[in-house]
Amino acid sequence: MAHVHPTAVVHPDARLHESVEVGPYSVIGPKVTLGAGSRVGPHVVIEGRTTLGERNRIFQFVSIGADPQDLKYAGEDTELVLGDDNQVREFVTLHKGTAGGGGATRIGSGNLFMANSHVAHDCVVGNGCRIGNGSALAGHVTMEDHVIISGLAAVHQFTRLGKHAFISGGAMVTMDIPPYATAQGDRAELVGLNTVGLERSGYSKEQIERIKEAHRILFRSKLQLQEALARLRTELGGNPEVDHLIDFVLQSKRGLTR
């Protein structure tokens, strides 16, 4: 049996691993699944068709799996899925998906959601991301792995954030942020590379130099985008870190932050 505080309300149809802990006055709905080692603090509400993996820690006053803040939502049985080892701090809100957005909000593993941050419907969050205090993702945002969003930033709906991107505090992101870049301002503009993050993630000096050259060609050479991409393929293609950047640019629909 899971360790459930006597004041918590856990629906009998909820599926809790025997090692799960649920704190005082928390509410767990009938379609919720909590994986091994997960800890739910006091005054937490987890509802909807929501699945949490293993060793997630949910702090007090969090709302997970609530209906999306989308006026088109009409009660469809959509879902929210979290991986393993996530930390969800105080007053965070994570909303389930919509039928029109694929039916699910999906969050990977090893992420930190700081106090008062928000992940809206149909977002896709990778692994190892950090979302700062008071920051918000609008609907349908995609965050690749190891993205850092500083406090009080906001990301427009359907925007994509490339892996290892760094969003400065207070930034208003309205277009795609390419991988490895640092962005700041209202509206956000590129101001450099997240070299510190790349070093901490184990990128070699040679890889970082290639990324620097790729960004220089894309954003500082004054070439047209297709010309810059062709030059990248010729000069730096075949290196995974550069190929990923090229693929990200080619898939952009909202346009790139420059």
Place of tokens 């509400």: 45
Verify whether residue 102 is a known catalytic residue: no
Verify whether residue 103 is a known catalytic residue: no
Verify whether residue 186 is a known catalytic residue: no
**Cα separations in angstroms, 56 against 60, 81, 178, 240, 242:** 13, 12, 29, 31, 33
Catalytic residue among 139, 140, 176, 215: 139
Catalytic residue among 84, 101, 108, 121: 121
Catalytic residue among 70, 84, 85, 122: 122
Contact 23, 2 (CB under 8 A): no
Question: What residues are labeled active site?
Answer: 121-122, 139
